[in-house]
Amino acid sequence: MSQNVNIEKRIQIESRSNRDIIQGQFIDSYRNLTIKHLFGLKWAVEHFPKVAFIMKIDDDIFINYYLLNKFINNVLSRQEGYYVVGYVHNKMKTIRDPKSKWFVTELEFPFAQYPQFCSGWAYLGTVEAIKMILCNKKNFSKNFWIDDVYVTGILRNECFKLKPINHLYNIDPLSLKHWIDNQGKLQWHFLFSNTDNVHMLSNALKLNAIIHTNKQLYR
């Protein structure tokens, strides 16, 4: 929920009109990202318990839907068991600098480095793996506010291994801009890409759809 009354009214109108927004009873703030993250996973598991995969993604990430579809059908569908795939961070140091956006006190997290975790940008997990993460929540009395560390690192930690696909992530928005400016003439092999703004995201989605449509027409 938003603390801004006008924004909340607009959200309610959007929700009633298009039924495309899920809201929980908490303030949507940066420090509440963990609550929102877990709320979304729980909602997905409860409403779609028989799906093969659940994907968590930030709203400013460009998804190459067509490549993602191939990746799921040709790679993930052949693998079994509990797993999450994504951009995996190993041995990331806990930031103790008070000036940093991600400053963490020893009271919040006492260890010098985080467990292996997936970036919250975008990741996919089997529904069984997501259920296991949610089930493991009962063993922890407090949330940790850095949501990707907490959900795919701390809650998951010893339950199952992460599968890195870091090479399928573009972390440089300028590379995406270059691809857009060249109207898709360059090859784009990434599943997910960071963006600088909503216009870049919109342009990338439109261009990708045009490229895919043209390929279908001229086969």
Domain match, 79 and 179 both = no
Domain match, 99 and 111 both = yes
Convert the pLDDT of each residue in 175-185 to its tens digit. Answer: 999 999 999 88
Yes or no: say if 192 and 167 are a contact pair by the CB < 8 Å rule.
no
Domain match, 185 and 97 both = no
* Residue at which a domain ends, from 167, 182, 209: 167
Convert the pLDDT of each residue in 115-164 to its tens digit. Answer: 999 999 999 999 999 999 999 999 998 999 999 999 999 999 888 989 99
E strand intervals along 31-180: 53-57, 61-63, 84-89, 117-126, 162-164, 169-170
Domain match, 161 and 202 both = no
Helix (H, G, I), strand (E, B) or coil at 76: helix
Domain match, 131 and 181 both = no
> Which are the contacts of 7, defined by CB distance < 8 A and separation ≥ 6?
none
* Residue at which a domain ends, from 134, 150, 167: 167
* pLDDT score for 216: 54
Joined tokens for residue 129 = 């793996």
In the chain, how many domains are there? 2
C-alpha 74/C-alpha 102 separation (Å) is 37
Q: Sheet holding 169-170: strands in order across?
A: 61-63, 192-194, 169-170
Strands 61-63 and 192-194, bridge-based pairing: antiparallel
Domain that holds residue 180: 170-217
C-alpha 62/C-alpha 122 separation (Å) is 10
> Which are the contacts of 156, defined by CB distance < 8 A and separation ≥ 6?
84, 117, 129, 132, 133, 136, 162
DSSP class of residue 218 equals T
Mean pLDDT of the chain: 93
- Is residue 54 a part of any domain in this protein? yes
Domain match, 206 and 121 both = no
Q: Is the pTM of this model over 0.85?
A: yes
Domain match, 51 and 155 both = yes
